[in-house]
């Protein structure tokens, strides 16, 4: 669940849009924007629309002009490769492939598969399996929004767990070359029951690719948001940092979005995952939409939301998901370890957990305040 708002000055942009993210992790995602007034020299641009079952917003300023076709091309590239809700997508074809003896072969014209695969494999190993794209069959078992929760049995979970894990004996990818020239891509399934779900990183990936497309067109100052996952470059038109708000993790009336903190974001990505608006209660126990690849069940810990700041949105997106799997204590340990091993990633984190008497417990990394200059809301 993404719980970010983009702010101009002190005022949230547009009226809020409340949407269900129609992909495997069942996020509730939303974006806010405003009616845009173009400046006299027409150097301010806004793109908004729908993608991946949610919304996107792109703002930039400068003398360079980017066409809608550039934005649409990026969105289509990601969608046709990784959207589980698009029947003809590449990922659906791979998930349906059940031949353990013959590789699935295709020409990756976007060259996104090898890049994303390597990143996912690194994050899978770094998180010790908390971030795991092969969680897909478990997500399917529990259903969108945990709609199947009353019918899921222990035996069904136990039957699926052996097929989960991003290891080469389950599934592997390699590229074929001749004379160092790319020829095609092979997916080898050692386990025909293993399947993929990149929804814990796909929105972040889309944000990064949109940012790259803008920069290739000469844009130096922009904000890109997809489903609440955000990346900012440069500054706003007034020379101030881009301002992003994080929701307060409480139930609110329709149309209301209480804010917990407002942060300044410069040349960084910020992504948030949260469980507090999507849960299913069974025998008085709240189960969140986050499925643990370790147990096969929805997590039941008290971590309500995690916001990750990183150099790129795909990393921030995936790390936020991993923390939601680990929970408050192990999540802190994981982030501390990741930061020490990857200082180049610029990782900072902000956790909100459930405490006693309906109070919240907050934790942040040592550099959070310095890096993002947060303003706590009253």
pLDDT tens digits, one per residue of 320-359: 999 999 999 999 999 999 999 999 999 999 999 988 887 8
At residue 50, does pLDDT exceed 90?
yes
How far is it, in rounded angstroms, from Cα 272 to Cα 316? 8
CB-CB neighbours of 25 under 10 Å: 21
**Mean pLDDT, all residues of the chain:** 84
Count how many Cα atoms sit within 13 Å of the Cα of residue 10 in the half-sphere of its side chain: 3
Mean pLDDT, residues 293-309:
93
pLDDT, tens only, 112-127: 999 999 999 999 999 9
pLDDT at res. 148:
85
Phi, psi at 146, each rounded to 5°: 60, 35
Dihedral of alpha carbons 90, 92, 96, 98, sign:
positive
How far is it, in rounded angstroms, from Cα 191 to Cα 195? 9
pLDDT at res. 247:
73
Domain 83-189 in CATH 1.10.3980.10: yes
Mean pLDDT, residues 38-59:
81
Where is pLDDT greater, at 28 or 276? 276
Mean pLDDT, residues 273-280:
60
pLDDT, tens only, 191-221: 999 999 999 999 999 999 999 999 999 999 9
At residue 152, does pLDDT exceed 90?
yes
pLDDT at res. 259:
67
CB-CB neighbours of 194 under 10 Å: 23
Q: Where residue 249 falls among pLDDT bands split at 50, 70, 90?
A: low
Mean pLDDT, residues 143-171:
93
pLDDT at res. 376:
60
At residue 41, does pLDDT exceed 60?
no
At residue 22, does pLDDT exceed 50?
no
State the virtual CA torsion across 251, 254, 260, 263 in degrees, nearest 10: 150
Q: Which residues contact 128 (CB under 8 A, 6 or more apart)?
A: 334
Where is pLDDT greater, at 1 or 53? 53
Q: Residues 228, 31: contact at Cβ < 8 Å?
A: yes
Residue indicated by tokens 């790390």: 319
Q: Which residues pair with 348 in a beta bridge?
A: 309
Q: Residues 27, 221: contact at Cβ < 8 Å?
A: no
Indicate the DSSP class of residue 199.
T
First to last CA, the chain: 23
Q: Where residue 232 falls among pLDDT bands split at 50, 70, 90?
A: very high
How far is it, in rounded angstroms, from Cα 246 to Cα 305? 10
At residue 185, does pLDDT exceed 60?
yes
Q: Where residue 251 falls among pLDDT bands split at 50, 70, 90?
A: low
Share of the chain above pLDDT 90, in %: 67
Q: Residues 260, 352: contact at Cβ < 8 Å?
A: yes
Q: What is the pTM of this model?
A: 0.86
At residue 2, does pLDDT exceed 80?
no
Mean pLDDT, residues 12-27:
27
pLDDT at res. 257:
56
pLDDT at res. 202:
95
Q: Where residue 7 falls among pLDDT bands split at 50, 70, 90?
A: low
Residue ranges of domains in the chain = 83-189
Three-state DSSP class for 353?
A: strand
Q: Where residue 261 falls among pLDDT bands split at 50, 70, 90?
A: confident
At residue 102, does pLDDT exceed 50?
yes
pLDDT, tens only, 68-91: 999 999 999 999 999 999 999 999
pLDDT at res. 246:
83
Mean pLDDT, residues 89-98:
98
pLDDT at res. 9:
44
At residue 369, does pLDDT exceed 50?
yes
């Amino acid at each position: 669940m993404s719980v970010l708002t983009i702010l101009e000055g002190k005022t949230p942009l547009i009226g809020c849009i409340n949407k269900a993210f129609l992909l495997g992790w069942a996020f509730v995602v939303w974006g806010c924007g405003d009616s845009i007034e173009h400046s006299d020299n027409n150097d301010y641009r806004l793109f908004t629309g729908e993608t991946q079952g949610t919304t996107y917003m792109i703002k930039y300023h400068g003398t360079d002009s980017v066409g809608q076709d550039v934005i649409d091309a990026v969105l289509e590239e990601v969608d046709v490769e990784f959207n589980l809700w698009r029947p003809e997508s590449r990922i659906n074809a791979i998930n349906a492939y059940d031949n353990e003896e013959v590789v699935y072969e295709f020409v990756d014209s976007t060259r996104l598969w090898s890049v994303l695969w390597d990143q996912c494999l690194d994050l899978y190993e770094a998180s010790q399996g908390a971030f795991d794209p092969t969680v897909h069959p478990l997500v399917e078992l529990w259903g969108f929004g945990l709609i199947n929760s009353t019918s899921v049995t222990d035996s069904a979970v136990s039957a699926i767990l052996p097929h989960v894990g991003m290891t080469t004996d389950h599934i592997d990818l390699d590229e074929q070359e001749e004379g160092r020239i790319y020829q095609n891509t092979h997916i080898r399934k050692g386990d025909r029951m293993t399947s993929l779900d990149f929804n814990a990183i796909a929105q972040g990936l889309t944000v990064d690719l949109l940012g790259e497309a803008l920069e290739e067109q000469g844009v130096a100052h922009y904000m890109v948001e997809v489903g609440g996952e955000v990346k900012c470059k440069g500054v706003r038109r007034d020379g101030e940092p881009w301002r992003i708000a994080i929701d307060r993790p409480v139930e609110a009336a329709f149309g209301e979005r209480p804010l917990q903190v407002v942060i300044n974001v410069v040349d960084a990505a910020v992504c948030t995952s949260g469980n507090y608006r999507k849960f299913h209660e069974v025998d008085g126990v709240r189960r969140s939409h986050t499925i643990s690849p370790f147990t096969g069940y929805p997590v039941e810990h008290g971590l309500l939301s995690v916001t990750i700041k990183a150099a790129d949105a795909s990393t921030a997106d995936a790390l936020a998901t991993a923390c939601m799997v680990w929970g408050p204590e192990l999540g802190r340990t994981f982030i501390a370890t990741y930061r020490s091993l990857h200082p180049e990633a610029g990782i900072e984190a902000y956790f909100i957990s459930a405490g006693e008497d309906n109070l919240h417990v907050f934790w942040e990394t040592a550099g959070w305040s310095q890096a993002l200059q947060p303003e706590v809301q009253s």
